[in-house]
Amino acid sequence: MLDPHMLWTSIPDALRKLDPRTLWRNPVMFIVEIGAVWSTVLAVADPTWFGWMIVFWLWLTVLFANLAEAVAEGRGKAQADSLRKAKSDTVARRLIGWSPNQPGTEEEVAAPLLQQGDTVVVEAGQVIPGDGDVVEGIASVDESAITGESAPVIRESGGDRSAVTGGTTVLSDRIVVRITQKPGESFVDRMIALVEGANRQKTPNEIALNILLAALTVIFVFAVATLQPLAIFSKANNPGVPDSLALTGDGISGIVMVALLVCLIPTTIGALLSAIGIAGMDRLVQRNVLAMSGRAVEAAGDVNVLLLDKTGTITLGNRQAGEFVPLPGVTPAELADAAQLSSLADETPEGRSIVVFAKQEFGLRERAAGELTDAHWVEFTAATRMSGVDLGGHQLRKGATASVADWVRANGGTIPNELGDVVARVSKAGGTPLVVGELRDGTARALGVIHLKDVVKEGMRERFDEMRRMGIRTVMITGDNPLTAKAIADEAGVDDFLAEATPEDKLALIRSEQEGGKLVAMTGDGTNDAPALAQADVGVAMNTGTSAAKEAGNMVDLDSDPTKLIEIVEIGKQLLITRGALTTFSIANDIAKYFAIIPALFVTLYPGLDLLNVMRLHSPQSAIMSAVIFNAIVIIALIPLSLRGVRYTPASASKLLSRNLYVYGLGGIIAPFIGIKLIDLVVQFLPGMS
């Protein structure tokens, strides 16, 4: 985290940030810079070794604070450069007069000149010139330049996988894209601005903390200022006390006053506050999540309710064969053989799972459809709702219960009562029953039921347990019936579920939770999800989704992984915890500095104050110098922690607070005592420290 090359390349940016027009946005460090300027003037007017060393470390304190922010911003510059390459020198083939029935005429224009609503054509090997929706055709698209994922994706007109991103490459076929972005507002443009921190706005909590730090700074300014008349009065009443570099008949020297102020105000958190916020955004970018604002990241840390789609998020998305249930008079091996034969030509994930399950559980050899030369394959249709195979006089069918039952009856067979019981049991367990029937030698019968079930992703229960420990309630949203939804919810371990959900139901659920004072996060990818994404406090739209969904959400997941919402919440909480931990550490630091500087200033006037010199520092000058040096060095030492973030473990708010107080509160008190004493052992040998 403290790569010397990164530090070296960030120094020019840190020096540029010394400009008061930039630094005034950070009130704490702005005061430090004013103090450094004033100390420099005093050192020029009355040069001493002690004065110039204090001035040197005061300027280093400001520089280190700027360096923390510059390093945080610099980590994203490499990614910004690669993103710029994705959009540079791209030429668009704009279509004039295009409509679904009218091909239009082509003209070549530079990609940055495209306007919202323009239509462009992109063929294999060409770069998509801007964000938009596919309105004609289907193509394989390489999105690795944006997402880092090498596997191509399919984009097609209509449906929820029509959105394309500028800078990605079409690998096959031809598509027509309608541009939905405004010039300079594409996702690539926004990502560049995000990772470079150019348009980073402070979050509400960050603004509130800045106000608190500014208020503390003002209080310490007045507190330090009141020491001057006290020092003058005390010196006047003790004329026999000799003058020192820190205290003369005119009171406390200006340089020492500045040093005291800089050491007592919360410079550590003031220096690292921006870096913590930038690093939090950067952690999201590293996970291919584009946050439209820092407010969204911060809100993720305060989320109380997570709304998660069942399919593809909690479950694998494709139902898998989990059980063969034979009817009376049928052996399990017979049913398995019939189920496998009827599924050989079924290329759907469900069909392939039946073939694999029969092989694994019953040892049946996986036969290829091409091996059965006399077979006639019956494909699934929406009208028949079943598929199968005809092998001469032996026919097999697999499909919906009612369809297969009607087929058996139509061929003179009967349906046993046990079939209804098995189908009901499978449905109640949350599965999908597929009935297998056969016609052999003129006799039709039902053989049994294939139990297809949603497979809950591995580790989901553990992750939901973590959410619960964080105080977050999880709600599964599904279009399934309540029985199926309850079975999946129980297996996955979610707290609640919403079955047979419509867009209106999702929106109503979010509003009801928010009315109860909760912050809600959800994911979505379709146009029908847009109202709910816009209403949610944290709305994560999938990159594969529609433009409407991406515009409605305040985050876009470029990997289109719905489970990433859980990671986003953890990153948000880590950001808040890091900010709180370093604030605690910074304020606790001041206790040790009081014991170092206050006794050093007045010990010649009031020898009894030597009892407060618990660190037994060498001299007043070395005590002040050691405190100033520690105040600067601790900023550099904490840069890695501010960039990486405090390690987050799921726990209740009270436990997290206790841990912060013990580790960073107590640590913030102890560390300066040790650090200042070690520095004093070194600086006591420097000129002017006697």
Least confident stretch, 20-24, 30-34, 288-292: 288-292
Q: How confident is the model at residue 199 (pLDDT cuts 50, 70, 90)?
A: very low
Using one digit for the tens of pLDDT, what is the confidence trace for 482-511?
A: 877 888 888 888 899 988 888 788 888 999
What percentage of the chain exceeds 70 in pLDDT?
85
Question: How buried is 359 (Cβ within 10 angstroms: 0-12 exposed, 13-18 middle, 19+ buried)?
Answer: middle
Q: Cβ distance 139 to 173 under 8 Å?
A: yes
Q: In this structure, what token pair is assigned to residue 173? A: 């076929």
> Does the structure show a pLDDT above 80 at 651?
no
Residues 652-681 as b/e (b if ≥16 CB within 10 A, e otherwise) read: eeeebeebbeeebbebbeebbbebbbebbe
Residue 472's Cα: distance from chain center in Å? Answer: 16
Q: In this structure, what token pair is assigned to residue 388? A: 């199968």
Query: How far is it, in rounded angstroms, from Cα 416 to Cα 420?
Result: 8
The dihedral over CA atoms of 583, 584, 585, 591, expressed in degrees to the nearest 10, equals: 120
- Better-predicted residue by pLDDT, 490 or 72: 490
Q: In this structure, what token pair is assigned to residue 374? A: 């006399």
Q: Cβ distance 582 to 272 under 8 Å?
A: yes
For residue 361, the model assigns a pLDDT of 85
Residue 567, amino acid: E
Nearest by Cα to 622 from 597, 641, 598: 597
Residue 120 bridge partners (DSSP):
94, 177
Strands (DSSP E) contained in 13-102 are: 91-96
| CA angle centred on 348, ends 344 and 352, rounded to 5° | 45
| Secondary structure element (H or E) that encloses residue 138, with its range | strand 132-142
Dihedral over Cα of 30, 1, 563, 573: its sign: negative
Q: Cβ distance 319 to 579 under 8 Å?
A: no
> Does the structure show a pLDDT above 50 at 55?
yes
- Sort strands 305-309 and 320-326 into parallel, antiparallel or unpaired: unpaired
> Does the structure show a pLDDT above 70 at 317?
no
> Does the structure show a pLDDT above 70 at 471?
yes
Residue 321, amino acid: A
- Sort strands 520-524 and 305-309 into parallel, antiparallel or unpaired: parallel
Q: In this structure, what token pair is assigned to residue 148? A: 């880092």
Query: How far is it, in rounded angstroms, from Cα 561 to Cα 268?
Result: 37
Query: How far is it, in rounded angstroms, from Cα 543 to Cα 239?
Result: 77
309 assigned to active site = yes
- Better-predicted residue by pLDDT, 669 or 112: 669
- Token pair 């599904």 is found at 478
DSSP one-letter code for 446: E
| CA angle centred on 675, ends 673 and 680, rounded to 5° | 95
Question: What integer best gives the mean pLDDT of the chain?
Answer: 81
Query: How far is it, in rounded angstroms, from Cα 29 to Cα 34?
Result: 9
> Does the structure show a pLDDT above 80 at 662?
yes
Contacts of 121 (CB under 8 A, 6+ apart): 93, 95, 106, 174, 175, 176, 177
Query: How far is it, in rounded angstroms, from Cα 632 to Cα 178?
Result: 54
Q: Cβ distance 667 to 586 under 8 Å?
A: no
Q: How confident is the model at residue 309 (pLDDT cuts 50, 70, 90)?
A: confident
Residue 143, amino acid: E
- Token pair 């979010």 is found at 510
The three-state (H, E, C) secondary structure of 281-307, written as one string? HHHHHHCCEEECCHHHHHHHHCCCEEE
For residue 408, the model assigns a pLDDT of 92
Helices (H), 481-619: 482-492, 503-515, 530-535, 547-552, 564-602
Residue 434's Cα: distance from chain center in Å? Answer: 40
The mean pLDDT value for 362-382 works out to: 71
> Does the structure show a pLDDT above 90 at 38?
yes
Largest alpha-carbon pair distance within the chain?
125
Query: How far is it, in rounded angstroms, from Cα 396 to Cα 225?
Result: 94
SS3 category, 375: strand
The mean pLDDT value for 655-682 works out to: 87
The mean pLDDT value for 444-473 works out to: 84
Residue 557, amino acid: D
For residue 145, the model assigns a pLDDT of 61
For residue 1, the model assigns a pLDDT of 47
The mean pLDDT value for 477-485 works out to: 78
Query: How far is it, in rounded angstroms, from Cα 527 to Cα 548?
Result: 6
The three-state (H, E, C) secondary structure of 187-215, written as one string? HHHHHHHHHHCCCCCCCHHHHHHHHHHHH
DSSP one-letter code for 99: B
Which residue in 133, 309, 480, 557 is the catalytic one?
Answer: 309
- Better-predicted residue by pLDDT, 430 or 460: 460
Nearest by Cα to 652 from 446, 467, 484, 501: 467
- Sort strands 538-542 and 520-524 into parallel, antiparallel or unpaired: parallel
User: Residues marked as binding?
Assistant: 346, 350, 380-387, 398, 525, 529
> Does the structure show a pLDDT above 90 at 182?
no
Q: How confident is the model at residue 198 (pLDDT cuts 50, 70, 90)?
A: very low
Using one digit for the tens of pLDDT, what is the confidence trace for 507-549?
A: 889 999 888 888 898 887 777 778 888 888 888 887 766 777 7
Residue 334's Cα: distance from chain center in Å? Answer: 51
User: Could you tell me if residue 539 is left (phi over 0), alpha (psi between -120 and 50 degrees) or otherwise beta?
Assistant: beta
> Does the structure show a pLDDT above 70 at 439?
yes
User: Residues marked as binding for ATP?
Assistant: 346, 350, 380-387, 398
Q: In this structure, what token pair is assigned to residue 646? A: 């405090």
User: Residues marked as binding for Mg(2+)?
Assistant: 525, 529
Q: In this structure, what token pair is assigned to residue 624? A: 């002040």
- Token pair 């890091």 is found at 578
Using one digit for the tens of pLDDT, what is the confidence trace for 543-591?
A: 766 777 777 888 888 777 767 878 888 888 888 888 888 988 988 887 7
The mean pLDDT value for 52-73 works out to: 87
